[in-house]
Structure 1
Amino acid sequence: MTTTAPTSCLGRAPREGARLRLFCFHHAGGGASFFSSWPGRLPFDVDVLPVQLPGREARYREPRFQDAGEVVEALGRELAPRLDEGPWAAYGHSMGAMVAFALTAARLRAGGRPPEALFLGAYAAPYVSPSLPPPDRYDDHELARLLVDFGGLSPRFLGRDDWLRVLLPILRDDLRVCATHHRAGLPDPDDERARLPLHVEAFAGVDDPLVTPGAVRAWGRYVNSFRMTTVPGGHFFPRQAPDPFFDRLSPSLARLLAGLGGPPSAPG
């Protein structure tokens, strides 16, 4: 049994014996529960570790971030021991893609252990037009309707001001994080010498009303190795069309495991 205690941004300690840790970063307004079904969808030797930002779900009472630089600094400090322990990869969805990438870039600058690969979904490269709306452009009802339209909120929330008073402040603060991406220490996409020695696989939903495949493909200007995949579904394709998405993500993770060598772990 492992004796290491979980950090506050992880709901549990990493699973002992897993050969690859997959740290997962959630979308704006979301939380770690977005990834609750993932362990059953991915190879057993991949330990799915959702990262929970403060101010939501189990960390609801903690103050939220509003600045991308502060997010990256705090996560880098908190996750560094876990990221240095063994092979890891990361998946970031929407806002989480920017957070995962910026965290990885910061670790590389500091000489930390790099990931085996980085997986990014449903977010435009930051130098392209913003993926998400500015935090204060819409009033609460307009923002709630926008969320419903692109699949980020159930229609049953409309008209429930008590629910929206809880949800929308979280979303607005996350949108402020997205709007301050320039403070997160991202490399210059126009400088080929600044490209990171990383392999990135990016995913775009073919029916995503917020982010075009071309905007997602633009992540390739940040790294030395890049692959782009379009999948059925909209902005939240891991939930809207999970089978095609996991049919592409699982083999990529299996290839990483094969590259690590060693025998597979036995479930149970």
Structure 2
Amino acid sequence: MDGGRWLVRFTERRQADLTLYCLPFAGGTAAFFRPWANLLPPWVDLCAVQPPGRQDRWQEAPHVALAPFVAELADRLATDLSGRPYALFGHSLGGLLAFETARELRRRGLPQAELLGVSARGAPHLPAPRDRLHLLPDEGLAAALVAIGGIPEEIRRESDLLAFLLPTVRADLTLSETYQYQEEPPLACPLSVFGGDADPLAAPDALHQWRRHSDGPVQIHLYPGHHFYISDFLTAVVGALATDLSGTALSWARRGQASHSHRRVG
């Protein structure tokens, strides 16, 4: 594990052309992205984000506000980047965190992402849902998580396990549901937006409104299913993301050639 326990690499691809930083959903862990390591092409270095409050970081308090989370993650990424092109991807809450991390890195004057991938998250400028899950009592929150596919019914019946999991989920939902969008210029990088066509939390129209947040090309990828459609279409999603990433390869090559030409002339 790298980056002060924030960053997890399941395979070593230090010679890869691009690093893909992936952020999990509310209550999720870096392990959610472990299967991706065998699905991504070898030129992509997969690096999953492990937020505090889960797995080997379970003794750390999870963040309940977005700004401190993003600032701390940006510190880790700034150290990890080492000048290599990178992209960001996140599912659900992870999509929002990826977006705000991209903006924070831009505010710091660091190189911008080659691509931002967002899954199962409506555009950030849209009003928050009226249902505030983080305010529900434990039983109500557990029922809501089962309903959207966030946890299986079996876990709901395991009171000890549920008592261990819910505080982290509640903290993440607090972060998500108290988020307040602040207007900034659109990102310059392409956007790849993914979602389920029957997701009650991120309807197709809300996904299409991500177009407002990039001056680059925006690809919308819809699949049959609900909020966790990605579990049924993982190979397809990773393949589509890899294709979109490969579309930026020409821009890397052009920049590299321009830099090489400049050095020769100078």
User: Shift of residue 259 of structure 1?
Assistant: 4.2
Query: Which shifted more, 38-47 or 135-144?
Result: 135-144
Aligned to 2:157: 159
CA distance in 2, matches of 1:82, 1:20: 12
C-alpha change, 1:74 and 1:28, in structure 2 (3 Å) is same
CA distance in 2, matches of 1:151, 1:161: 18
TM-score, normalising length: structure 2: 0.87
CA distance in 1, matches of 2:176, 2:183: 16
Contact map agreement 2:13 2:44 (CA 8 A) in 1: no
User: Shift of residue 63 of structure 1?
Assistant: 1.4
Deviating beyond 4 angstroms after TM superposition, the runs of 4 or more aligned structure 1 residues are none
1:39-118 aligned within 5 A: 39-118=37-116
TM-score, normalising length: structure 1: 0.86
- The one-letter amino acid of 1:157's match is I
Aligned to 1:200: 191
1:148 equivalent in alignment to 2:159: no
Aligned to 1:8: 5
Aligned to 1:265: none
CA distance in 1, matches of 2:143, 2:42: 39
Aligned to 1:242: 234
Aligned to 2:208: 217
Aligned to 2:262: none
Higher relative contact order (CA 8 A, sep 6+): 1
CA distance in 1, matches of 2:232, 2:139: 24
C-alpha change, 1:91 and 1:133, in structure 2 (3 Å) is farther
- The one-letter amino acid of 2:145's match is L
CA distance in 1, matches of 2:2, 2:223: 37
1:187 equivalent in alignment to 2:183: yes
- Quote the sequence identity (%): 31
Gaps spanning 5+ residues in structure 2: where? 257-266
Aligned to 2:176: 178
Count the aligned residue pairs.
Answer: 252
Alpha-carbon RMSD = 2.2
